[in-house]
Amino acid sequence: MKSTRINIGFCVIGLFALAACQSNTDGSLAAAKPADPQAPNVLLIVVDDLGFAELGAYGSEIPTPNLDGLANNGVKFSNFHVAPTCSPTRSMLLSGTDNHIAGLGNMFEELSPNQKGKKGYEGYLHERVAPLPAIFREAGYQTFMSGKWHLGLEADQGPLQRGFDKAFALLEGGAGHFDDMQSLFETEVGNFGKAKYRENGEMLDNLPEEFDYSTEFYVDRLLQYLQAADSEKPFFAYLAFTAPHWPLQAPPEAIARHEGRYALGYDELARQRLQRQKALGLLPANAELSERPYDAPTWDSLSEEEQRISARRMEIYAAMVDEIDRHTGRLLNYLRESGQFDNTIIVFMSDNGAEGHTLSVLFAEEHFPAARNWVYNTFAFDYDSMGGPGSYVMVGPGWGWAGAPALRGYKGATSQGGTRVPAFVHYPRLAANGRTDASLLSVKDVAPTLLELAGIAAPDGEFLGRNVEPITGESFVDVLQSKAENPARSQDRVLGVELFGKRGIRQGDWSLVHMFEPYGNNDWQLYNLRDDLAERLDLADKYPQKLAEMQGLWEEYAQENGVILPDWNSGY
């Protein structure tokens, strides 16, 4: 599948002198030919578990001026979709293909017995795809990464082996945010040891002395890589924050900035954010609040102490988002001061919807008894410890609901709240800057879009001497070039999703979802999002013909992408 090139003043960079490419002895990719120094730099910024309404530019009260500046002076997307959780999304981002093709048909941690050992369920970014950093590297780019990898634990599955020149990587899905290498799960069966980090391929026994807080350090490391880079070559950089993923932790001074802000409760916060999103044009005028999650009591029904503890969780969460913005601002200042800002394509996105689970769901006793005992017997849960090292805090379903108040569900769900996320592109050369676009877009579309903007042809069935799957995402350069929305662009597009056996299909305004209880009714549910964005009214019985049509689209998607529905799930 070849990418269409566009004329934006850059030399087109050829890809196919592949025979000259060699591998280093450590398995990483060897240096590629020089690129045009005027080619655009690329900066991918991915945050972890940020909801659709949790940036200022997307209706939040959390101060995010640096990210807001990028969003409001770039192109904001209001209908951008990802997988319901992190590693499947990241596999699509870096491959341009469906996660079931890229090797993350399910999260490695959640593989069911009937999925293990099957094609598409290897649990790492597989060699059958051409990784985006490797494509850019072969085109002459310098490639750097800092932050969360979650696309393979083994030495031959790391960032260097997928095309990065330099990388500081947390290999797992998350960790404590301070320097104690606090793990989130069992690192091996029965072993709750240190979280796993690698820098430039070397496994770390301890974090660097300058590692004080994850968000700050990931920016520091990327800045070091960029400052030492060859100024004559463009760069491809991937900044993959672990914040605001649980455990919720932040520096005390950051938490203090938000003290008292959430005493209003999540019911009122949801209402306020909904109105702001409407005013910003991110939601249609008829958008309503989605139903409060089944396990989120009304705020007024909580005791004073329960409200105090709950509000504290949200204060910590807001501090984490605030810190993302503050430290991203340092990176943006470097790009401005070094004269690279105007020639850098910046893509920002969250990897899934807002988190809304509780510890009791995450560590269900019937599925993870050892992990449950470890969490409840190891970490501090008192009010004064919350947010510090050694605490294990999750924001909970009420605040997760307020993270995307017009959308049903949250992380892990195949409904809108799990898959529709904040995302935008900033690049001064774009004609559509300053506009919000509602085109139906997928994380798979990022790869072909960046390749087109950079004038790089996508691999045509072969890359570095091996057969690879084609990129199936669709470039949205036309969206970035247009000063007006094209509703017809999204009308016939079909987007499928499946994770943990929860599944869904989108076409135009129609959404078909199938989720187990308590997230659904264990059957197909049909919604028209134009009239019912919150997915309140199931139309499956009213429109049997449309139901059958959408079910057929789902079957086509599942067959094309090798979906294997699990015979076990943890209930997440």
Q: Which residues are catalytic?
A: 86, 150
DSSP state for residue 343 in the 8-state scheme: G
CA-CA distance, 94 to 385, in Å (whole number)? 37
**Contact predicate 225/169, CB 8 Å:** no
CA-CA distance, 362 to 260, in Å (whole number)? 28
User: What are residue 143's DSSP bridge partners?
Assistant: 236
DSSP result, 5-22: P--SS-PPBP---GGG--
**Contact predicate 322/64, CB 8 Å:** yes
Query: Residue 291 corresponds to which tokens in the numbers above?
Result: 């139903």
Query: Residue 57 corresponds to which tokens in the numbers above?
Result: 């530019």
Sign of the alpha-carbon torsion through 156, 162, 163, 169? negative
CA-CA distance, 50 to 322, in Å (whole number)? 12
Query: Residue 532 corresponds to which tokens in the numbers above?
Result: 């019912």
Query: Residue 144 corresponds to which tokens in the numbers above?
Result: 């750097």
Query: Residue 504 corresponds to which tokens in the numbers above?
Result: 């869904």
Tell me the residue type at 187: T
DSSP result, 524-547: EEEEETTT-TT--S--TTT-HHHH
Query: Residue 542 corresponds to which tokens in the numbers above?
Result: 């009213």
